[in-house]
Structure 1
């Protein structure tokens, strides 16, 4: 694999940041959705512990799945694109020779 341009490195950095932030948000929502009943309802101690642990485990799994999903869909560089999938050389044209 060749060297990446500054723009490609910046795009990858932004994509990684987006993957981590969105993964954290989805994981926090999952943890909250599963464990909030344990905090607001009068449940036995075993049920509260179970809900908190389940929320933590599901939150961690959702975080990993979200980060992998976002980064897997990131195209990487233009060198990975199939031939003919590059942008046209002139804006507003469908192909360079039209």
Structure 2
């Protein structure tokens, strides 16, 4: 990996925090959206548990997907990384 500067470590810390916070909000929204039928349709018993479990599963998947997407794009895995040298607008050919 090599040595990283303090600025690079700080940038990664901020990016991880951003990924976790936005993923938490996304997961909450997905859970509320998926679990809404429990309240709207006044479901009870097994149906309510099933819908709630499906909502929790969808929320968990949304959380993981958001964190992976943000960190993947930050790390340059998506091909949109920083130029190889300062001042260059394209990677070296």
TM-score, reference length from structure 2:
0.79
Measured on the aligned residues, the alpha-carbon RMSD in Å equals 2.2
Name segments (4+ residues, structure 1) moved above 6 Å: none
Structure 2 unmatched runs, 5+: none
Q: How many angstroms does 1:45 deviate by?
A: 1.8
**Corresponding position: 1:8 with 2:8:** yes
Question: Size of the alignment, in residue pairs?
Answer: 85
- Go from structure 1 to structure 2 and tell me whether the alpha carbon gap of 1:26 and 1:18 turns closer, same or farther (over 3 Å shift): same
Instruction: State how far apart, in whole Å, the 1-side matches of 2:86 and 2:37 are.
Output: 51
Where do residues 57-72 of structure 1 align in structure 2 (5 Å cutoff)? 57-72=57-72
Larger RCO, structures 1/2 (Cα 8 Å, 6+ apart): 1
Instruction: State how far apart, in whole Å, the 2-side matches of 1:42 and 1:35 are.
Output: 11
Instruction: State how far apart, in whole Å, the 2-side matches of 1:58 and 1:75 are.
Output: 26
Whichever of the two has the greater Rg, that structure is 1
